[in-house]
């Protein structure tokens, strides 16, 4: 039976599902609209984001001016690239954060790093798995950039519930 009430309810649930189901990968534009450039405070930028394993950082920059190098803490602190881990210079660099802990990036051109073109981010693990999920299955990161784990988990469960309810209504 498809009365208008049920259709309305289903529509609402579809809306809920789209509102709460996270996308599979969260890509963060480093520096926001300022991109990867001088005159952006990356300490401030990093403090506004909560990063989880599987998230990606996107560095957008003028390739004739800057590069992106993944470095260790020593190089980060000293603005050197003696032990550079990886290096990019294509102007649009996507780096996946595969491990928890601190990750360090800098521009090694001229004195840009010393002038602030360096980024330190802390990456956390996804500690809460969805209901019934095997522990070996990677948990897709939430699209949201909320700071607490609970709202992310809550949003995912709500989305899954809404999808399930809609699926049962639609059959």
* Binding positions for Cu ion, rule: CB under 5 A: 66, 107, 109, 112
| Count of CB atoms situated within 10 Å of the CB of 131 | 8
**Residue among 103 and 112 whose Cβ is closer to Cu ion:** 112
Token look-up 């599979």 returns 24
Please state, in angstroms and rounded to a whole number, the distance separating the CA atoms of residues 63 and 48: 26
Smallest gap from Cβ 49 to Cu ion, in A, equals 21
Please state, in angstroms and rounded to a whole number, the distance separating the CA atoms of residues 49 and 14: 28
Distances (CA, A) of 39 to 30, 88, 132: 13, 20, 47
**8 Å CB contact between 52 and 129:** no
**Residue among 66 and 103 whose Cβ is closer to Cu ion:** 66
Smallest gap from Cβ 152 to Cu ion, in A, equals 34
The full 3-state SS of 13-25, as one line of letters, equals HHHHHHHHCCCCC
Smallest gap from Cβ 107 to Cu ion, in A, equals 3
**Residue among 64 and 137 whose Cβ is closer to Cu ion:** 64
Please state, in angstroms and rounded to a whole number, the distance separating the CA atoms of residues 79 and 113: 6
Smallest gap from Cβ 96 to Cu ion, in A, equals 22
Smallest gap from Cβ 112 to Cu ion, in A, equals 3
Please state, in angstroms and rounded to a whole number, the distance separating the CA atoms of residues 85 and 43: 21
**Residue among 37 and 55 whose Cβ is closer to Cu ion:** 37
**Residue among 66 and 152 whose Cβ is closer to Cu ion:** 66
């Amino acid at each position: 039976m498809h009365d208008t009430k049920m259709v309305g309810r289903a529509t609402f649930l579809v809306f809920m599902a789209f509102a709460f189901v996270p996308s599979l990968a969260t890509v963060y534009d480093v520096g926001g609209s300022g991109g990867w450039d001088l005159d952006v405070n990356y300490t401030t930028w990093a403090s506004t984001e909560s990063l989880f394993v599987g998230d990606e950082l996107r560095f957008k920059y003028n390739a004739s001016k800057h590069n992106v190098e993944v470095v260790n803490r020593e190089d980060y602190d000293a603005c050197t690239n003696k032990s550079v881990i990886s290096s990019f210079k294509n102007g649009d660099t996507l780096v996946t954060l595969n491990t928890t802990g601190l990750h360090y990036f800098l521009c090694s051109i001229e004195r840009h790093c010393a002038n602030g073109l360096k980024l330190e981010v802390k990456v956390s693990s996804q500690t809460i798995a969805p209901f019934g999920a095997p522990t070996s299955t990677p948990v897709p990161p939430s699209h949201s950039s909320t700071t607490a784990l609970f709202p992310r988990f809550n949003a995912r469960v709500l989305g899954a519930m809404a999808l399930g309810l809609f699926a049962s209504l639609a059959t």
